[in-house]
Structure 1
Amino acid sequence: MNLKQSFGLLLLVLSTLTSFAQRKGYWDQKVDYTMEIDVNEQTFQYDGKMKLKYSNNSGQQLHKVYFHLYFNAFQPGSFMDERLKNIADPDVRMVTNIGTKEKPVRQSRISVLTPDQIGYQKIESVKYRGSEVAFKEDGTILEVTLPSAINDGETVEFDLTWKAQVPEQIRRSGRNSKEGVAFSMTQWYPKMAQFDEFGWHLDEYVGREFIAPFGNFDVTIHINKDYVIGSSGKLQNPSEVKGYVKNAKIKTKNNKATWHYKAENIHDFAWAADPKFVVDSAKSKGGVTVYTVFLPTDKEVTDNWKTALGLATEFFDFVGERFGAYPWNTYTVVQGGDGGMEYGTATLITGGRNLKGLVGVIFHEAAHSWYQQLFGINETVDEWMDEGFTSYIEEVANTELFEKPTARALNPIGSAYTSYFRLAKSGLEEPMSLLADYYNTNFAYSIQAYSKGGVLAEQLGYIIGKQNLNKTFLNFYDIWKLKHPTPNDFKRVAEETSGINLKWYFNLFINTTRTIDYAISKVSEDSIELVNKSNFAMPIDLLVEYEDGTKELFYIPLREMRGEKPAEDYAIYQGVTRTVLTDWFWTKPKYSVPVKKRVKQAWIDPTQRLADINQEDNSYSK
């Protein structure tokens, strides 16, 4: 390489670093928790105390702060209880049928909890800068009024003490799960609410998900010596507790063992405990130690967990290479909860599954280590980015590591497209930008968040090119890891990576329920006529096979893109001539593709990534 080439490369690197920069003015609050809790396993209650360091980087004074008290949702008359009573299709895990099979009557399980079954977090005291301050509990929100403001750039300390009761297991948190786990401890501590450019996030807990500031955790748990814990963070004293080290010398006081955990740069901390838990572990090639903590109910279950552990280590290596390195050195998969839910460096899942189901839920929750644990996405606002991108990673990894088909699917998330089409034709679809708590049905929420969000990602690859999509995920990682990005931040990275304007795509697919519908309307000796039957314009790939056996791929960009995607390396395009045509206006419903030979067959979108809701008219055969 000569000097001129070297200088040119340096300029390219510098311009790239300048282009892929964080948005100007971005800031984050920071929290550091030091907590100690003393558990009474007989009453399912515990006493807690916390020292919280809170750093204000907002550029303004704060005169109040807020905490979440999630356990308070598990009380008759709560927001969550009333939502279960009034939504058309309540979560089946959270209701019981008190009617008949023919005439079901769904009853909220929260509504019948007795005083010794409910959940609560009762705050006893709050200190600010060492002095007692006023506070008010309001449902699942704790409001703390400050006698003096927290100034910009200032770090202050809060001290909290509280008493809590673990509710009967209904949603995520709880005791005595259906699988027999004693403690599933999620959303278990007074959690500092998120404050950012959009203000305080003070959503009542009605069953959806979360957002919180990043910080460090130092957690000490005192519990009966016979219990084994699986948790977020890294265990600091494995030789003093049960389950992690052979011939451990368990240290006890009042018949209790002490478990000490630390974690850095996470925004949620969870754990589960049971006397019957067993622990297994393995290390990925990239150095991530994966722990599994589960109930060995029979040989098949134990074998499934063993196999899943090996696949989990492969998962972290694969996803780390494809979407950015996992930044922590441990990850713990714990049997507990009511399905699967992600937390900082850990997940709680149900464990009595067949191998496919167990691997699937582990892959999904581990994928959340990127979206939403590594990127602190606001799940209450942008649930589709959290669950949708996670589902996308899950399916890509599942295809690569578990199913391992001999011929790779052109679209690895085809099942998500099928679900989205079902929603789009149901009449129940609502805009994907709707706040997660406010969907009229769980049916619409689930498909919007998990399926349509994944479709957005895969279809983005159709627009900007598969290689550019892969680069976008990695560039996004470099810029936004361990921060709180928004969907617009992801869009901007995709635009900078590809050189394509994407405002139209993100706006229409997220903020409206418009659908895509193209067709081949007419084929003649010298042209193929395409028609956009919908109000959602997209670029078009049209693969044509001529009667002489040759093939040609016509690529028609949209004017709004202000650019073109590069040629893609799909096997079906090998040896195929690619012709780029004049861009198509979204204001013009028809487009004529010129051909110079007799057409035998033609296909719109042969890679099956265009979310066209009616594909019966997308192909032609003479």
Structure 2
Amino acid sequence: MKLFKYLLCAMLFTSFNSFAQDDVTTEREQGHTNQNKFKQLYEEFSTPNMFRTGSGAPGPGYYQQQADYKMDIEIDDDKAKLYGEETITYTNNSPDELKYLWVQLDQNVRAKDSKTPLISNSVVRPVTTSSNAVTSYLKESFDGGFHIDEVKDVKGKDLAHMINRTMMRVELPKPMQSGDQFSFQIKWWYNINDHVKDGGRSGYEYFEENDNRAYVIAQFYPRMAVYNDVEGWQNSQFWGRDEFALPFGNFDVNITVPADHILDGTGVLTNREEVFTKDMMKRYNKAKKSYDEPVMIVTQDEAEKAEKSKSKKKKTWKLSAKMVRDFGFSTSRKFLWDMMAVKLGDKDVMAVSLYPKEGNPLWEQWSTKAVASTLKSYSRMTFDYPYHKAISVHAKQQGMEYPMICWNYGRPDKKGNYSDRTKYGMISVIIHEVGHNWFPMIINSDERQWTWMDEGLNTFTQYVAEQDFGEWHPGALSPNDKAYPSRRGPAKNIVRYMGGNQDYIAPIMTKGLNTYQFGNNAYSKPATALNILRETIMGRDLFDYSFSEYANRWKFKHPTPEDFFRTMEDASAVDLDWFWRGWFYSTDYTDIGIKEVKKFAVTSTPNESGNRIAKRNNIDPKDLVYFIEEGSEGYDESIKNGVAIDNLPTVKEYIMDNFTPAEQKEMNETPKFFYEVTFNKPGGLVMPLIVEYTYADGTKKRETYPAQIWRLNDKEVSKAIASNKEIVGVMVDPDLETADVDTSNNVWPKEVKESDFDKFKEKVRN
């Protein structure tokens, strides 16, 4: 076998070299720049510096700013208004002098003069619903923007400030030098929106039957913008879709609500014994020791009783959080509340759910268990969850995340019935939103610029966590499902998008606001890319080690895309520039097929090509090994005579002269069949070539040729194959691992009707 491979390579090299010489033309082509798909990403990447190294790790000069908040918040439940006062202490850890500070006013996206509606396309449709007609043409726009009453220093002196839509510039009395701190105060209020009717990432849902609201409150306070080494102030306007970039800091927040409300949010509840009843405290202490089933802190009977009346008294809940980038909370008298402990490493974390009775029985069955499962899966893939709790809040039509708390959809009908779609949808959104605690709440990427860095990485890890959940909780699976039916992650699920109209597809490396098909671009495609990278290209061990290295390098820091790309290569010794370029910087798609398969037989009869080669190299034609292609004169006779390569006199002589007896003994499988398989690549995306060969005896062999096989010819490549068994079928990407958009060219021969191809087509259809 070794001899054959040597001779065959020599033969192919000689013939290809001869072909190249014969094909020289008199007219030379113009030169060109390097357009190779394997070109390194030096032009796309920033030059490493003292802040961010070429390895993808933070550099010796890396810094980040800190913003600490002390807040007093009150919700007027009758008028659905939020009032707040805050003191912000800003620390300048940068080496730069700062003349002013930028503060985000994200609620202004709902201000009456908001320009967000003006950038969206709108048309008059021939028919629409009555509600849509009223909302679009008759209803006055909701005034949900911030009303800033005061901006002062801590001595009560007014600070000059300017509001530009969703950003406010605060002028400093004197420039801040490196290491300086500055404290200032803001007083504000705003009308809370009905997020069910008017949309938005936070707000309230109104329950008409008992005149109650359930609040999910976020972006409720003026928040410091990020200042970093990449672009200085990140003061890009909030248009409503691409989310937030925020610095880390410490929060002390007092929230006053009606006395009969149940409330939870970011941070440690520091006055638990003041706001809990004795029964609630007993149940809470029990929950801290319950690792298998949630413990009800507030029961459904208690919640239903509370929603029938309204207290005129008030209660203040005090929350304190360290090293978080944001703050959110939820409150209502309608809430049931359950908790369960989760063991992570050497500490316990509390998995928590808040939901109105409208969420049951689904939420009581699966919400907190989904939280607990997520904490375990994400900790395994990255690092142990560092906070003391993770909360899932039921909110209609919501899916949004904040440190330690998130809101999630999924509601049964009024009789408590729900479909598989509702159940899986609820579990998946909980996994996704709880997972955002890692991306971007801790691994604090810039969502405003690179949406995929939080949504895509999180959706990939969500897929891993969903599969874990299905394995750990088989009772949650429907009878027909052997594994959790993840919507995003598997390669075949992205095929329709990848092969779609190029006019409406943007590269992943596009600012979130400007992408077409936001869900596919920011969530599905990067998640699929990483899943392919893990399963098909790198392997789980290399990928998981590198992914964890990235997470640990950049937890509680501000990574960029390049930091991720570089770390994945640095920790694995796998050159992935070709992969990042194809999947993240282009809209290329995968289409790899079989162009042709040629069969050859060994013959002892010299041919014309051999005579030319022998003459050119001054050797005896009898010293060459000859191959004859199927369909050529003499092929059938060679097959009939069964000429074996190791029976040729010159081959025997070569073996005797060049191989030891032990090596000769290894040559026990004489190849009888020879093939030249040519694979083509109509698609632009470089991917590994995964091939399954089927033999006449029904056995199969799988071969994965690395993506580098395309490095010298991006259009087609050929592989010479010697086999002691006849090949009757060749299939490219048999398990649909590469998101191939056209599988009609993936099988040879075209007319194959064996059960394997039928199964293959069934995979494609599904």
Report if aligned partners of 2:339, 2:353 keep a CA contact under 8 Å in 1.
yes
Matched, 1:516 2:590: yes
Matching residue's letter, 1:544: Y
User: 1: CA distance between counterparts of 2:115 and 2:396?
Assistant: 21
Report if aligned partners of 2:57, 2:563 keep a CA contact under 8 Å in 1.
no
User: 2: CA distance between counterparts of 1:359 and 1:558?
Assistant: 36
Q: 1:264 to 1:606 in 2, by over 3 A?
A: farther
Matched, 1:350 2:409: yes
Structure 2 matches for 1:91-490, cutoff 5 A? 100-101=127-128, 112-113=139-140, 117-128=142-153, 130=155, 131-169=157-195, 170-177=199-206, 181-196=213-228, 197-208=230-241, 209-241=243-275, 246=280, 255-286=313-344, 287-297=348-358, 301-336=360-395, 338-353=397-412, 354-402=422-470, 413=488, 417-422=492-497, 424-427=499-502, 428-439=504-515, 441=516, 444-461=517-534, 462-490=536-564
Matching residue's letter, 2:79: T
Matching residue's letter, 2:453: M
Moved more, 75-84 or 33-42: 75-84
Report if aligned partners of 1:228, 1:273 keep a CA contact under 8 Å in 2.
yes
Report if aligned partners of 1:416, 1:454 keep a CA contact under 8 Å in 2.
no
Name the structure 2 match of 1:574. none
SS in 1 for 2:440: helix
Question: Alpha-carbon deviation of 1:269?
Answer: 0.8
Matching residue's letter, 1:324: F
SS in 2 for 1:291: strand
Question: Alpha-carbon deviation of 1:83?
Answer: 3.6
Specify every segment of 5 or more residues in structure 1 that has no aligned partner in the other structure, as ranges. 1-16, 89-96, 560-582
Match of 1:593 among 701, 709, 719: 719
Match of 2:710 among 564, 584, 607: 584
Moved more, 310-319 or 450-459: 310-319
Q: C-alpha deviations, 1:437-488, integer Å up to 9, x for none?
A: 123x5xx111101111211211222222232111122111221111111121
Name the structure 2 match of 1:67. 103
User: 1: CA distance between counterparts of 2:747 and 2:485?
Assistant: 17
- Percent identity of equivalent pairs: 25
How many residues align structurally?
563
Report if aligned partners of 2:148, 2:189 keep a CA contact under 8 Å in 1.
yes
Name the structure 1 match of 2:666. none
Name the structure 2 match of 1:499. 573
User: 2: CA distance between counterparts of 1:190 and 1:267?
Assistant: 13
SS in 1 for 2:584: helix
Question: Alpha-carbon deviation of 1:399?
Answer: 2.0
Question: Alpha-carbon deviation of 1:204?
Answer: 2.5
SS in 2 for 1:220: strand
Match of 2:732 among 604, 607, 614: 604
Question: Alpha-carbon deviation of 1:345?
Answer: 1.0
User: 2: CA distance between counterparts of 1:397 and 1:550?
Assistant: 35
Name the structure 2 match of 1:22. 58
Q: 1:503 to 1:546 in 2, by over 3 A?
A: same
Question: Alpha-carbon deviation of 1:548?
Answer: 4.0
User: 1: CA distance between counterparts of 2:86 and 2:740?
Assistant: 53
Report if aligned partners of 2:487, 2:493 keep a CA contact under 8 Å in 1.
no
Report if aligned partners of 1:387, 1:449 keep a CA contact under 8 Å in 2.
yes
Name the structure 2 match of 1:536. 685
Question: Alpha-carbon deviation of 1:23?
Answer: 3.9
Report if aligned partners of 1:243, 1:279 keep a CA contact under 8 Å in 2.
no
User: 2: CA distance between counterparts of 1:76 and 1:466?
Assistant: 51
Question: Alpha-carbon deviation of 1:171?
Answer: 0.9
Matching residue's letter, 1:395: Y
Matching residue's letter, 1:194: V
Matching residue's letter, 2:245: I
Rg larger in structure:
2
Q: C-alpha deviations, 1:505-531, integer Å up to 9, x for none?
A: 212322221222111111233122111
Report if aligned partners of 2:56, 2:563 keep a CA contact under 8 Å in 1.
no
Q: 1:588 to 1:423 in 2, by over 3 A?
A: closer
Specify every segment of 5 or more residues in structure 2 that has no aligned partner in the other structure, as ranges. 1-52, 283-310, 413-421, 600-674, 753-766
Matching residue's letter, 1:492: R
User: 2: CA distance between counterparts of 1:539 and 1:331?
Assistant: 40
TM-score (norm 2): 0.68
Matched, 1:545 2:694: yes
Q: C-alpha deviations, 1:170-203, integer Å up to 9, x for none?
A: 2112233579643221110001111112122223
User: 1: CA distance between counterparts of 2:572 and 2:207?
Assistant: 48
Matching residue's letter, 2:332: D
Report if aligned partners of 1:75, 1:113 keep a CA contact under 8 Å in 2.
no
Report if aligned partners of 1:173, 1:337 keep a CA contact under 8 Å in 2.
no
User: 2: CA distance between counterparts of 1:307 and 1:471?
Assistant: 31
TM-score (norm 1): 0.83
Q: C-alpha deviations, 1:79-119, integer Å up to 9, x for none?
A: 223244x268xxxxxxxx997349997676699346xx521
Matching residue's letter, 2:182: V
Root-mean-square deviation over aligned CA pairs? 3.1
SS in 1 for 2:147: strand
User: 2: CA distance between counterparts of 1:76 and 1:409?
Assistant: 44
User: 2: CA distance between counterparts of 1:189 and 1:199?
Assistant: 22
Q: 1:278 to 1:540 in 2, by over 3 A?
A: same
Q: 1:231 to 1:510 in 2, by over 3 A?
A: same
Q: C-alpha deviations, 1:41-82, integer Å up to 9, x for none?
A: 212223311111212122111111111112222133412232
User: 1: CA distance between counterparts of 2:556 and 2:433?
Assistant: 18
Matching residue's letter, 1:175: Y
SS in 2 for 1:433: coil
Report if aligned partners of 2:264, 2:330 keep a CA contact under 8 Å in 1.
yes
Report if aligned partners of 1:99, 1:105 keep a CA contact under 8 Å in 2.
no
User: 2: CA distance between counterparts of 1:66 and 1:107?
Assistant: 37
User: 1: CA distance between counterparts of 2:165 and 2:240?
Assistant: 14
Report if aligned partners of 1:337, 1:349 keep a CA contact under 8 Å in 2.
yes
SS in 1 for 2:542: helix
Structure 2 matches for 1:27-42, cutoff 5 A? 27-42=63-78
Q: 1:254 to 1:339 in 2, by over 3 A?
A: closer
SS in 2 for 1:501: coil
Report if aligned partners of 2:205, 2:396 keep a CA contact under 8 Å in 1.
no
Moved more, 236-245 or 100-109: 100-109
SS in 2 for 1:498: coil
SS in 2 for 1:285: strand
Matching residue's letter, 1:259: W
Report if aligned partners of 2:492, 2:736 keep a CA contact under 8 Å in 1.
no
